[in-house]
Amino acid sequence: MYEQIAKNRAASVITIIGFIIFIGFVGYAVGLILDYNYAVSGAYSITLLIFALAIACIASFFSYYYSDRIVISLTKARAITLDEDPRLYYMVEGLSIAAGLPMPKTYVIEEQGMNAFATGRNPKNSAVVFTRGLIDNLNDEELKGVISHELSHIKNYDILLGTVIVIFVGMLSIISNIIFRVFLFGGGSRRRSSSKGSGGGIFTIVILLIGVVLIIFSPIIGAVIRFAISRRREYLADSNGALISRYPAGLASALRKISSGSGVSTANSATAHLFIANPFTKKTRPLFGSLFNTHPPVEERIKRLEKMSLGVGM
């Protein structure tokens, strides 16, 4: 457990540092090309490098401290109180005590698809989110299994890495579009028209093609990043969650029900990996979504939980 927490913290730090370096590299590369186009020695490259690093640092700061609020806002979740839903509130409170965690803030998404996720930067600043369909369609043991799964993500610090990734994957898509627009509308360069002739034109065409490739493949790159961090952590959260609830059959039964309808309309490609099950339907699934599914097969998850239960409740 402690080893996994340490790994997640280290992975979060590495991800943030890597993001800053990547954004700085992109800014510098764009500046070099603008220097080439406009025959300016280092003016654009140094300026854009400094600008990109500043943006990356600001984005990293906000992703650490405010990404959970951004995720909750994106999914249109709202906070619930004890008076509004005492059943859910007391379950979250009791299982948090059992897990040795402070009680996270509890939110609900008013949708009939059955799903849930946890977000935040640490156990003291965390939140659990459930859809209305999940709350209404699961019995107490099944709901406890799902809550325990999400609390496990909080205890393991999966929430920090997963929530930071939401911001960075979103920015990856934005950056690819910015690069494309820079080269598309900045193609009429003084340098190309004056001294480089057809060579400069070929160079710009190559860069435009790179921009197009970035736009096409940025969703795949983002999916690969999420794929790399999600699957093993879902298995671990299943097993640790079963230990918190002390009833693996409850989560197994919940996963069976969830698999029949887990779609959430407010989910997107940046937030999908946070959910306990794939939040996309056939209509909302993004391009190449099935190739890089961030969630392990439900059948395999159920099979592992059945082994833990030793037949009890199955």
Q: pLDDT tens-digit profile of 169-213?
A: 777 666 666 666 665 555 544 444 444 444 445 655 555 565 556
Q: In the beta sheet, which residues pair with residue 122?
A: 125
Model confidence at 91, in pLDDT bands (50, 70, 90)? very high
Which sign does the torsion angle of CA 297, 302, 303, 304 carry? positive
Contact 164, 63 (CB under 8 A): yes
pLDDT of residue 59: 78
What CATH number does the domain located at 76-314 have?
A: 3.30.2010.10
This prediction has a pTM of 0.77
Model confidence at 279, in pLDDT bands (50, 70, 90)? very high
Range of lowest pLDDT (20-29, 73-82, 248-257): 20-29
pLDDT of residue 198: 46
Range of lowest pLDDT (5-9, 144-148, 160-164, 225-229): 225-229
Model confidence at 28, in pLDDT bands (50, 70, 90)? confident
pLDDT for residue 38 is more than 90: no
pLDDT for residue 259 is more than 90: yes
DSSP-assigned letters across all residues of 177-228: HHHHHHHHHS-S-HHIIIIITHHHHHHHHHHHHHHHHHHHHHHHHHHHHHHH
pLDDT for residue 90 is more than 80: yes
Range of lowest pLDDT (19-23, 276-280, 286-290, 305-309): 286-290
Domain ranges of the chain: 76-314
pLDDT of residue 221: 60
pLDDT of residue 41: 63
Average pLDDT (110-117) is 96
Known catalytic membership, residue 84: no
Pairing of strands 116-122, 105-109: unpaired
Range of lowest pLDDT (27-41, 47-61, 185-199, 281-295): 185-199
Model confidence at 312, in pLDDT bands (50, 70, 90)? low
pLDDT for residue 17 is more than 70: yes
Closest CA to 276 of 262, 290, 289, 260: 262
pLDDT for residue 286 is more than 60: no
Contact 16, 24 (CB under 8 A): no
Active-site option among 142, 150, 299, 300: 150
Model confidence at 34, in pLDDT bands (50, 70, 90)? low
Q: What percent of the chain has pLDDT over 70?
A: 68
Record the tokens describing residue 104, joined without a space: 């996270």
In whole numbers, what is the pLDDT of the chain averaged over residues?
A: 79
pLDDT of residue 145: 97
